Chain A
Amino acid sequence: MENKQYLTVDGIPVEINGEKNLLELIRKAGVQMPTFCYYSELSVYGACRMCMVENQWGGFEAACSTPPKAGMEIKTNTDKLRKYRKNILELLLANHCRDCTTCDKNSNCKLQDLAMRFKIEGVRFPNANTERKEDKSSPCIIKDSSKCILCGDCVRMCNEIQNVGAIDFAHRGSKMTISTAFDKPLAESPCVGCGQCVAVCPTGALVLHSDAEKIWKALQDKNVKTTVQIAPAVRVAIGKELGAVNGENAMGKIVTALRRMGFDEVYDTSLGADLTVMEETQEFLDRLDSGKNIPLITSCCPAWIQYAEKKHPELLPNISSCRSPMQMMASLLKKQAREKGENSFHVAIMPCTAKKFEAARHEFDVDGKPNVDAVLTTKGLIRMIKEAGILFEDLEPEAVDMPFGTVSGAGVIFGTTGGVTEAVLRRVMSEKTRAELLAIEKLGQRGTDGIKEFDLPVGEGKIHIAVVSGLANAEKVIKRMKAGEHFDFIEVMACPGGCINGGGQPFGMREDKARRTKGLYDADKLLSIRRAEENPILDDVYKNIIKDEAHELLHVHYGKH
């Protein structure tokens, strides 16, 4: 064919089809190049030099930062390259705290993986980093510079995708570190706890705080009633690492596993989400009526809340006063426990690292005690299931407990970007037919774009809705808003793609995220109740538990932490 251009990878001709760099083409040729610092979502940095290839003249080029040209003859695996890569690995290991067996990243570490793949059998140089240098100040993230290989993935994630800029490179040469300004503890930096840096860190330099020990202790204590809630996004992200189908809804098995671990009562955060839909829709309609504090900006995402507090405090009046689904659920459970005089310990299983911060916020304390006693991330849950020796794939699925056992599809789709918006739309649209549900699907809130916008005709006028994920995208919308553009409703999720890609989830490539999103939409379709207001439990919850305390139990005003 005319116009087709080729280069060869290890002698195999590969067609050039608009790829940005050699790396993508090499993957097309069926070769998995070793990389530390390359993520297709982030800018190309070219620091790790692991993806070096040899050209026909024997020269080296970094595949991540070399654009493909017709006629190139690339070799990916030569003696020279192998020696080169081994040298890099050896030098990285010489500067790395190698306490692998007790490291959080053990068996899930790229450095360990590549050291194994390239058969590094010894390090000729003395180890310059034998002690851990941990910063444990953040409730969400632990940073350990003794394990950092300076690939900069975290820096680019924090700056480019999240626009937070809590960390950057500091100092020079052998003294270089990843640091906050003046090397302050992470907790005193602009960090919002989203955990996306942890998701891309190839080593144990950035890991999650774990509350597992606290939870095991509560589970062992016979005088404590343990309750647990499971967020929507967890069920579609847990399976892959536990031998189930990627993206499959594993809710039933999670419930069984949690009962086996000893939890007394197991609930679904989707019910909290249903309550959020009810409260937030009412709040939105009230604000539309009064014209005050428009746009309404969603409040479910704790990393977004912290971002707004730290960078845009002037927007706080626009943010919904609704508590997150996790906190609404916890409010109900703890109120019941208090009324019954029970000594309860409530765990929330979340795809999110920032929820650990949210759980500890004093705004939610009742009598000086938090409603959520511990937050366990999806990764943390996987580890506890493994620790307990539970064979997840063999479990018989079970249902969650009453009296909060029925959830609507609207609550389930909260776990993906656009979910909150769609749930609210289902509530506000007066027509309650199946055709209307299908029409709502197509309005524009679904899909993986970081910023989605559409108009919804209402009466004579229209409302302008934006659905945003990724904090850098949120910043773009905020800038436009300040420049005078009109928005009525803005959904913000800090993690790109929403909670399915949260910092507490197992790391997922683009296709994993798509599967998780599909998993949630499929779960929604299989539920007979798909609108929050049709959830029959809510009547009872409002009448018998919330009564006239909706404000105290379901809403919050930030500013006390």
Chain B
Amino acid sequence: MEQTINFEVLDQAIKDYGNEEKALIAILQRAQEHYRYLPREIFPYLAEKLDIPEARIYGVATFYENFSLERKGKYVVKVCDGTACHVRKSIPILEALRKELGLSEAKKTTDDYMFTVETVSCLGACSSAPAVMVNDEIYPTMTPDTAVALINEIKEKEANA
């Protein structure tokens, strides 16, 4: 599935944060929010607009774990594997999700770019362990079954959309 990149969101971010080197991280965050990852095409565009080398932007983008250079799914499912979630059995949830979506440690995103499944070290929702986050929403006290049900619910919603 091809995704066309338009730069309007970048132009707006540059307008908001300024076309200086110090605005780079804020602009990249805005880009990531919009595209859900940092597409390759935006690097030369930003390099020219901000007058910083592409290699430096690449350096910043690869330094921070939160920036992704790989295209992610429409729904990013973050399975918390912090201490509290781990001892309350987060790994079986992860395994169930991967099995349901045909994903693995190496393959994190479905071919239709609908789902990405990854682990995070802590969501800060330890009282609701084990927790799962889908995009910006937290789902508390999950089990492998409720996690799979959640995925199916999203799939259904998408199918009817």
Q: Which of A347-386 contact B (CB under 8 A)?
A: none
- A182 within 8 Å of B by Cβ? yes
Residues of B near A542 (CB, < 8 A) are none
- Of the residues B56, B58, B65, contact of A182 by C-beta under 8 Å: B58
Question: Does the CB pair B55–A172 fall under 8 Å?
Answer: no
Residue pair B62, A171 in contact (C-beta under 8 Å): yes
Taking the complex as formed, is B124 at the interface, i.e. its CB lies under 8 A from any CB of chain A? no
- B57: chain A residues within 8 A (beta carbon): 181
Encode B56-96 as 1/0 by CB contact (under 8 A) with A: 11110011110000000000000000000000000000000
**Is A165 an interface residue when CB atoms closer than 8 A count as contact?**
yes
Docked-complex contact B58 and A181, CB < 8 angstroms: yes
Q: How far is the CA of A167 from the CA of B55 in the complex (A)?
A: 6
CB distance from B128 to the nearest CB of A (A): 30
A88 to chain B, nearest CB (A): 23
Counting CB contacts under 8 A, is B54 at the interface?
yes
Query: CA separation between A319 and B54, bound complex, in Å?
Result: 26
Chain B residues near A170 (CB-CB < 8 A): 55, 58-59, 62-63
Q: Mark A167-195, 1 if CB is under 8 A from B, else 0.
A: 11111100000011110000001100000
In angstroms, Cα B52 to Cα A168, docked, is 11
Within 8 Å of chain A (Cβ to Cβ): is B43?
Answer: yes
The docked-state distance in angstroms from the alpha carbon of A447 to that of B2 is 57
Q: How many A-B residue pairs have CB under 8 A?
A: 47
Decide yes or no whether B107 CB sits under 8 A from chain A.
no
Query: A182 contacts which chain B residues (CB < 8 A)?
Result: 40, 43, 58
Q: Is the Cβ of A165 less than 8 Å from the Cβ of B62?
A: no
Is the CB–CB distance between B52 and A165 below 8 Å? yes
Interface size class of B (residues with CB under 8 A): 10 to 19
Q: How far is B54's CA from A181's CA once the two chains are assembled, in angstroms?
A: 6
A159 interface residue (CB < 8 Å to B): yes
The answer to whether A172 and B53 touch (CB under 8 A), given A179-B58, A182-B58, is no
Tell me the interface secondary structure of chain A in the complex.
loop
CB distance from A178 to the nearest CB of B (A): 9
Instruction: Check: A233 CB closer than 8 A to any chain B CB.
Output: no
B37 to chain A, nearest CB (A): 14
A166 contacts the other chain (Cβ, under 8 Å)? yes
Instruction: Please give me the residue from chain A that is nearest to B56 by CB atom.
Output: A168
B residues near A190, Cβ cutoff 8 Å: 53-55
Residues of B close to A172: CB separation below 8 A: 62-65
- B40 / chain A contacts, CB cutoff of 8 Å: 182
Contacts of A181 in B (CB 8 A): 43, 53-55, 57-58
Which residue of B has the minimal Cβ distance to A171?
B62
Write out, one digit per residue, whether chain A residues 411-429 have a CB within 8 A of any chain B CB (1) or not (0).
0000000000000000000
Give residues 131-177 of A contacting B (CB, 8 Å): 159, 164-172
Within 8 A of B (CB), among A377-413: none
Asked if A159 and B63 sit within 8 Å, CB to CB, the answer is no
Among B53, B59, B64, point to the contact of A166 (Cβ < 8 A): B53
Give chain A nearest CB distance to B104 CB in angstroms: 21
Instruction: Take A181-B43, A182-B40 as given contacts and tell me if A169 and B59 are in contact as well, using a CB distance cutoff of 8 Å.
Output: yes
User: Bound complex: CA of A159 vs CA of B51, how far in Å?
Assistant: 12
* A166 B62 Cβ-Cβ under 8 A: no
Give the interface of A toward B (CB within 8 A).
159, 164-172, 179-182, 189-190
Q: Which 7 A-B pairs have the closest CB atoms?
A: A165-B53, A181-B54, A168-B55, A181-B58, A168-B59, A181-B55, A168-B56
What are 15 of the A-B contact pairs (CB < 8 Å)?
A165-B53, A165-B54, A166-B53, A167-B55, A168-B55, A168-B56, A168-B58, A170-B59, A170-B63, A172-B65, A180-B58, A181-B54, A181-B55, A189-B55, A190-B55
